[in-house]
Amino acid sequence: MEKPSHRQSTVLVPVFVPAVVVIVLLVLGTVSNPQLAGEVFSSSLSYVTRSFGWFYMLSVALFLLFIVGVALSPWGRIKLGPDHAEPQYSFPAWFAMLFSAGYGIALLFFGVAEPVLHYSSPPQGAALTVDSARQAMQIAFFHWGFHIWAIYGLVGLVLAYFAFRHGLPLSIRSALYPLIGDRIYGPIGHAVDVFAILGTMFGIATTLGLSVAQINAGLHYLWPEIPIGSTVQVIAIVIISCLAILSVVAGMDKGVKRLSILNMTLAIALMIFVFLAGPSIHILESFLQNTGSYLNHIVERTFNLQAYSRSDWIGNWTLFIFGWTIAWAPFVGLFIAKISRGRTIRQFVLGVLFVPSMFTFLWFSIFGDTALHLIMNEGYEALIHQVQADHTIALFQLYEHLPFSSIVSLITVFLIITFFVTSSDSGSLVIDSLASGGSIHTPVWQRVFWASAEGIVASTLLLAGGLSALQTMSIISALPFALIMIASAVGLWRALIIESHRHDSLRVGVQSRFTGVAGPELWRQRLKTLISFPRREDVETFINTTVRDAMSWVEGELRRENWRTSVTDDPAMPRICLEVQRQGDVNFIYEIRLVEHELPGYAYPEMRREESDDLHYCRAEVFLRRGGQSYDIYGFNKHEIATDILDHFEKYLHFVHVSPGHLPWEMDEHDDMLAPPEQD
């Protein structure tokens, strides 16, 4: 069978065509009359923030409460994949990729600018005071803390759960399966993915627009002969989009992963430099104080819409950032889902929610508080006017008062470029997956097409109205996707209820697998099983004889009762599987696999191990529909194996009887033992 990655096309036409048509119409309309497009963007932004601001704030609050509640519940133990799955990437590599894809660019853009702007123009109280400085840092923490990553985390969680736990497409539509079933493959599912593509496209365009504006400012700072303007920025988009295309062609592991690790290395190095060159003790003190203040006021700020003091501040800041994040969420969520297979729900949520947030708080403390310290204690008030005039130069103006400013500025420009590339290439991979119905392996030309489209959309919006046009499209495209996220949360909740019934069915009061055939010699058999370490050929023989005979017994009896049953084997694994098929219900599977393990330390209690000894032994482990059960049946006789099968079959029937719904539970594709992930 030809691998998916070698196909000429994997596009899902009902998704691909509408998304492309909308994007093309937007580009053509904007290019034909940029002034009119800018006016439409401005009026649309005003209407959405005025009419739906409350909805954005309430939605984000619910997202945060929901994923924290799920993580802290017993559902937190559920793995994003089969029960025996292990994480695909190490924690450092995982964190580097999700951080780079998430909002590395945003931190570089707003790390200095936002605290300075809030200090000089606070939403409440007097400006240029100690209170306004405290408020500025609290607002920055609120905008880029738990709420942002709750949005990313919710989308990533529902995608990873339904894809890796139930074999559904790695696509937004899959989250609706518990609500509409197989209709996710019809028009409703297509519409959901189209909205996801459009939201992602405009979210990426916003990020790319911020990036090139800051790159332009950095280049002008280093080489004043380079002007600041849309022409330079469009040229930058073209050049860096070409670099993103090269990364896209390289693939996940060779391109995105390596660039992400490079990004994190440079970002951490930059943080350490500013920390050491700046007011280090003040930074540490402010970090602790601001974190405490953020946690103390998180509820109040979550629901603060300035209802009694109408202004544009909430729309220009909080709603923009939340809307941008929601529009960005299909991309970041799907991306972190792809790299999170094998983690538990609790590990996923806590990792996604707390680790990046703490890093962000430290980032703003180092850069933002250094800037405020220079203004308040060293008289660098000119920084306020410089940032107010141009947000993009904030970081470079800060470097003016630090040693090696030119070198650090050059490194920062390079870092922005690499963040740009990782955002564009990983965004292209995600959009391509959405447009292909969740396909993980897609041909190169499709990824190149979407990487090019991102650059074109970003350039068009910049020409139409600069950053304000990008801001508008982010907030508007976020509105329909916020509704989809709410439906996804409901779908996940229903799926977890079904999962709970599945878990409860495994604890029904049936005989233990060790007492299926009781007798006076049972303890001897159990002891022998515990302290024996069989060779591969012994376990293979056991599976092909004793296990096969026991399964054949059960298969024969079920067939006589008119149950559709089959026994299949896979000599290459090796493994053997008994499957009971039920119309309209998930099939029952009882599988025995040969699994190799390293010898434990107690394998040689009385003698020293010889160098020639084999360091491994094999087990005949039980696997069910949801994955490995982590116990060995080697040494069981046919009667005991048959009893173990019936124990699990009884639990399966109990689950089918009490379950309020059904899920596919198709995990073979994401089972490393059966289908190891291909390396690009």
User: Residue-wise over 469-499: b if at least 16 C-beta within 10 A, else e?
Assistant: bbbbbbbbbbbbbbebbbbbbebbebbbebb
How far is Cα 320 from Cα 47, in angstroms, rounded to an integer?
A: 13
For residue 506, what are the CA distances in angstroms to 153, 301, 649? 29, 44, 10
Q: What is the pLDDT of residue 520?
A: 56
Residue 665 contacts residue 164 (beta carbons within 8 Å): no
* 8 or 46, higher pLDDT: 46
Task: Kindly indicate the confidence band of residue 2, based on its pLDDT and cuts at 50, 70 and 90.
Answer: very low
How far is Cα 423 from Cα 445, in angstroms, rounded to an integer?
A: 18
Q: Is the pLDDT of residue 599 over 90?
A: no
Q: Tell me which amino acid residue 445 is.
A: W
DSSP string, 293-316: HHHHTHHHHHT---TTS--SHHII
Q: What is the pLDDT of residue 419?
A: 78
Q: Three-class SS of residue 570?
A: strand
**Which range has the worst mean pLDDT, 354-368, 555-569, 626-640?**
626-640
Q: In what order do the strands lie in the sheet with 616-624?
A: 564-570, 575-581, 588-598, 616-624, 627-632
Task: Kindly indicate the confidence band of residue 71, based on its pLDDT and cuts at 50, 70 and 90.
Answer: very high
Q: Is the pLDDT of residue 431 over 80?
A: yes
Q: What is the pLDDT of residue 456?
A: 84
Q: What is the pLDDT of residue 473?
A: 73
How far is Cα 322 from Cα 444, in angstroms, rounded to an integer?
A: 33
Q: What percent of the chain has pLDDT over 90?
A: 28
How far is Cα 87 from Cα 338, in angstroms, rounded to an integer?
A: 11
Instruction: Among 38-42, 74-78, 354-358, 665-669, name the most confident range.
Output: 74-78
With tokens 């989308």, the residue in question is 155
Q: What is the pLDDT of residues 296-317, one digit of tens each?
A: 989 988 888 777 776 778 877 8
Q: What is the pLDDT of residue 510?
A: 38
Helix (H) or strand (E) holding 259: helix 258-277
Q: Taking residues 198-208, what's their average pLDDT?
A: 79
How far is Cα 490 from Cα 179, in angstroms, rounded to an integer?
A: 8
How confident is the prediction for the chain on average, in pLDDT? 83
Q: Three-class SS of residue 188?
A: helix
Q: Is the pLDDT of residue 6 over 50?
A: no
Q: What is the pLDDT of residue 8?
A: 60
Q: What is the pLDDT of residues 175-187, one digit of tens each?
A: 899 888 888 889 9
**Which range has the worst mean pLDDT, 208-212, 480-484, 582-586, 675-679?**
675-679
Note the pTM of the prediction, 2 decimals. 0.82
How far is Cα 281 from Cα 510, in angstroms, rounded to an integer?
A: 63
Q: Is the pLDDT of residue 677 over 60?
A: no
Residue 620 contacts residue 592 (beta carbons within 8 Å): yes
* 11 or 281, higher pLDDT: 281
Q: Taking residues 587-594, what's their average pLDDT?
A: 92
**574: preceding bond cis by omega (within 30 degrees):** yes
Q: What is the pLDDT of residues 488-520, one digit of tens each?
A: 999 999 999 988 877 766 655 434 444 444 555
Task: Kindly indicate the confidence band of residue 424, based on its pLDDT and cuts at 50, 70 and 90.
Answer: confident
Q: Is the pLDDT of residue 141 over 90?
A: yes
With tokens 């946690």, the residue in question is 295
Q: What percent of the chain has pLDDT over 70?
A: 88
Task: Kindly indicate the confidence band of residue 469, based on its pLDDT and cuts at 50, 70 and 90.
Answer: low
Going by C-alpha positions, the residue among 68, 155, 466, 495 that lies closest to residue 332 is: 155
Task: Kindly indicate the confidence band of residue 611, based on its pLDDT and cuts at 50, 70 and 90.
Answer: low
- CA-CA-CA-CA dihedral for 42, 44, 45, 50, to nearest 10: 130
Token duo for residue 670 = 């994401």
